[in-house]
Structure 1
Amino acid sequence: MDITQKLSQLEEQQRYRTLKEVHHIEGKTIRLGERDYINFTSNDYLGLAQLPLDAEDFSKFVEQYGNNLSSSRLVSGNSVLYTEIEQLLSQHFDFEEAVIMNSGYDANLALFNAFKGEAVIAFSDSENHASIIDGLKLSRISKEIYRHLDYQDLARRLAAYPDITKLIVTDSVFSTNGDLADIEYLVELKRQFPNTWLIVDDSHGLGLNYFDDYQNIDVITASLSKSVGAHGGVILCSQLFKELLVNTGRALIYSSGMPPSNLYFILRNTQAMLKEPYRNQHLKQLSGYFNSQLFSYLGKKCDLQTPIKSIELDDHDEAEKYYQALMGAGILVSYFRYPTVSHPTLRFSLTYYHQKSDIDRLFQIILKQKEDEETDV
């Protein structure tokens, strides 16, 4: 393999990525190099990653539980803290059990590996997260891809397999544009077609309360690095399925347990997420305000109440101009390219720390760039 040639091809295709060094994060502000930016890229939706640290409490915690578990959970790395967190999450979301994983990505790898070698077929939304795509691929189970949020297409595909176990697989909130899956409708489809499981990746929705019909979902996976503001993943499931995961989930079996310090933050932040609904209320107000300004400034309508917003652009050159204009004005946004998305897309993530004035500033820069481009034509 010619690595230099491969990298050159990525550059020519405008798919070349680089890592940005982050020097400081405080509230809505992120420092890259020597400059501060208003941060519209963070997944810390509820602001829990920046909860003040009780240094004395944390010091006692580390003294009691140590710095590293130094083993897989199945050997000697299954801290009692795992049990406490798993009970908290499973009880709140009305599941029999929970399994904490090292990441949301690992959660999906372990989940689908549990079906490996079984007579099942997965029906996956075309816009599902890469961890679902990879989990299905590595499990080697049969799969069909239905058109994004097209549940008539999904129903037709389900009907073609009456005698086999079927897995409906979907994100709850789609990470590139904030689309919401219709969980209630998917529950009805599950009931309509016997021997069907409903599997939901709730990474961008956990704790934001976009649906409440947990009892009719068979398995939920989620990242704990977004609304929870920590690091890790979780699988919510039945007692029997947890036993299966413990015995087949390679991402669980062959990974060291997380450092107790990380479990500390998962536990602390999860408790805060469940006890402080005002954070989510503020986030939903911001979402509604963003939608109104999107229409006011650009004439684009959006009714989604998720904290993920996006603007799709015609080509990479146009997207790059908008991105650079925002960066020049001290605003950091996400710029998605193929293969993450089919068209160049600017994504804006709202968090608890944003104010309406930040959204106003964002749209003022976007409108100015739009007017400048129209003047140049």
Structure 2
Amino acid sequence: MSTVAGTAPVTPSTPVTPVTSSAPVTDPFDWLEQAAADRRRAGLVRTLRHRAPDQDLLDLAGNDYLGLVRHPRVTRAAADAALRWGGGSTGSRLVTGSTELHAELEAELADFCGAEAALVFSSGYTANLAALTALTDADTLIVSDALNHASLIDGCRLSRARVVRARHRDPESVRAALAARTERRALVVSDSVFSVDGDAAPLAELAAACREYGAALLTDDAHGLGVLGPGGTGALAAAGLAGRPDVLATVTLSKSLGSQGGAVVGPRRVIEHLVQAARTFIFDTGLAPASVGAALGALRLLRAEPQRAERAGRVARTLSARLAAAGLPVSSPQAAVVSVRVDAPEDALAWAAACRDKGLAVGCFRPPSVPDRWSRLRLTARADLTEEQIDFAVEVITRTAPGR
């Protein structure tokens, strides 16, 4: 049985009335046209956009927070790894997919984050699925923030645990759920920085609630690593929680580290358990050597240039302040994500297209990707943006805003 805060329990065994028809189905996908039409009417059609390697756009849509994805040291590290180890890892991590390079990255990533150990996955998504499914069972309560990322939500769904949806960034809601639990174990789950508006979780308060009720804390630090904490060491370090035996984090290698992949960092016994029990580790092909090499190169570069982390945050605050001064409904960023609210999904699409026509790429978030009724332009504050580029971005966004 699973429970969502504020609703009655839902019992999975509720009988379902079978669909009956006098005629057999001849086209099992005939419903797709109606679904596509519904999306068009709602203004929610998604479009793949294939970018060229030399596109003439200022990119504030991607997640390259530290400006490392094209840094020569990072691309050289990727190329060297591919030349030495090959184009792919050849198998799952437990068969042939672990190289000495994977071990180097795990050791350095754990040290950087102040954790005992780390385990690299093919994506941040699979890292989240691993942590949530391998560390819970039917005798576990998961308390999940209402605005957590889809990968955390899917991990909760795949777990055998009972799930309570806590109010957004509300430690008292978490405490209430933990106090009422009947399960032997509990896991509190939250993004460190929420990817839509860039607001941060109250990790210190969540950790205190966990300690009070004997729960563990898992945070998805995808948008915190490289931006928060001393030198970009992450949200747990920023909250004074790095290295605690009851706390762990998942991270991505595809944002601040300019590569691809994900990892779990935390207590060594947790990492050892994931090696034995996490299906997305055991049955998934290991991360390609080029991606491992790029992430390792970026991590070493960040350690050598820790000022990149502070610069990304400063750019975000500058963008937010200047857009707010122009009268736009902009978020107050706590890391490197800035969002501007839009009334309707059609307006958001038109605004993003107008920005693109002027040479600026911005993200466009619409329902159902965002849980409330507001669409948004989402901006990435990069550490390598010049003052002239910031001026250009602010000018384009304000001049193309709906109604101006």
Q: Which residue among 122, 130, 136 is the counterpart of 1:102?
A: 122
Q: How far is 1:303 from its partner?
A: 4.1
Q: Distance in 1 between matches of 2:79 and 2:290?
A: 10
Q: Distance in 2 between matches of 1:317 and 1:252?
A: 40
Q: How far is 1:144 from its partner?
A: 0.6
Over residues 287-329 of structure 1, what are the superposed CA-to-partner deviations in whole Å (9 max), with x where a residue is unaligned? Answer: 2211320232116575434110001121223323322332222
Over residues 174-203 of structure 1, what are the superposed CA-to-partner deviations in whole Å (9 max), with x where a residue is unaligned? Answer: 01110111111112112222x201100000
Per the alignment, in what secondary structure is the counterpart of residue 23 of structure 1?
coil
Q: Which residue among 203, 206, 213 is the counterpart of 2:222?
A: 203
Match of 2:274 in 1: 245
1:351-370 → structure 2 map (5 Å cutoff): 351-370=382-401
- In structure 2, give the amino acid aligned to 1:44: D
Q: Distance in 2 between matches of 1:272 and 1:340?
A: 33
Q: Distance in 1 between matches of 2:182 and 2:388?
A: 54
Q: Distance in 2 between matches of 1:312 and 1:65?
A: 46
Structure 1 residues 57, 359: CA separation in 2 closer, same or farther (over 3 Å shift)? closer
Q: How far is 1:137 from its partner?
A: 0.7
Q: Which residue among 196, 209, 215 is the counterpart of 2:243?
A: 215
Q: Distance in 1 between matches of 2:263 and 2:212?
A: 28
Q: How far is 1:53 from its partner?
A: 4.9
Match of 2:180 in 1: 160
Match of 1:373 in 2: 403
Q: Distance in 2 between matches of 1:90 and 1:17?
A: 37
1:66-81 → structure 2 map (5 Å cutoff): 66-81=86-101
Structure 1 residues 360, 143: CA separation in 2 closer, same or farther (over 3 Å shift)? same
44-53 or 61-70, which moves further after superposition? 61-70
Structure 1 residues 38, 57: CA separation in 2 closer, same or farther (over 3 Å shift)? closer
Per the alignment, in what secondary structure is the counterpart of residue 72 of structure 2?
coil
1:48 and 2:68 equivalent? yes
- In structure 1, give the amino acid aligned to 2:68: L
Native 8 Å contact 1:294 1:302 kept in 2:
no
Structure 1 residues 53, 218: CA separation in 2 closer, same or farther (over 3 Å shift)? closer
1:229 and 2:249 equivalent? no
Native 8 Å contact 2:197 2:331 kept in 1:
no
Q: Distance in 1 between matches of 2:327 and 2:161?
A: 44
Native 8 Å contact 1:286 1:355 kept in 2:
no
1:89 and 2:109 equivalent? yes
1:11-30 → structure 2 map (5 Å cutoff): 11-25=40-54
Q: Distance in 1 between matches of 2:81 and 2:90?
A: 17
Q: Which residue among 169, 182, 186 is the counterpart of 1:149?
A: 169
Q: Distance in 2 between matches of 1:231 and 1:112?
A: 21
Structure 2 residues without counterparts, runs of 5 or longer: 1-28, 230-234
Structure 1 residues 298, 357: CA separation in 2 closer, same or farther (over 3 Å shift)? farther
Q: Distance in 2 between matches of 1:369 and 1:56?
A: 39
Structure 1 residues 11, 167: CA separation in 2 closer, same or farther (over 3 Å shift)? same
Native 8 Å contact 1:125 1:170 kept in 2:
yes
Per the alignment, in what secondary structure is the counterpart of residue 143 of structure 1?
strand
Over residues 138-170 of structure 1, what are the superposed CA-to-partner deviations in whole Å (9 max), with x where a residue is unaligned? Answer: 123210111111222222222111653111100
Per the alignment, in what secondary structure is the counterpart of residue 24 of structure 1?
coil
Q: Distance in 1 between matches of 2:224 and 2:364?
A: 21
Structure 1 residues without counterparts, runs of 5 or longer: 26-30
Q: Give identity over the alignment, percent.
A: 29
Structure 1 residues 316, 246: CA separation in 2 closer, same or farther (over 3 Å shift)? same
1:340-355 → structure 2 map (5 Å cutoff): 340-341=369-370, 342=372, 343-355=374-386
Match of 1:28 in 2: none
Match of 1:192 in 2: 212
Structure 1 residues 55, 98: CA separation in 2 closer, same or farther (over 3 Å shift)? closer
- In structure 1, give the amino acid aligned to 2:376: T
| Matched length | 363
Q: How far is 1:7 from its partner?
A: 1.7
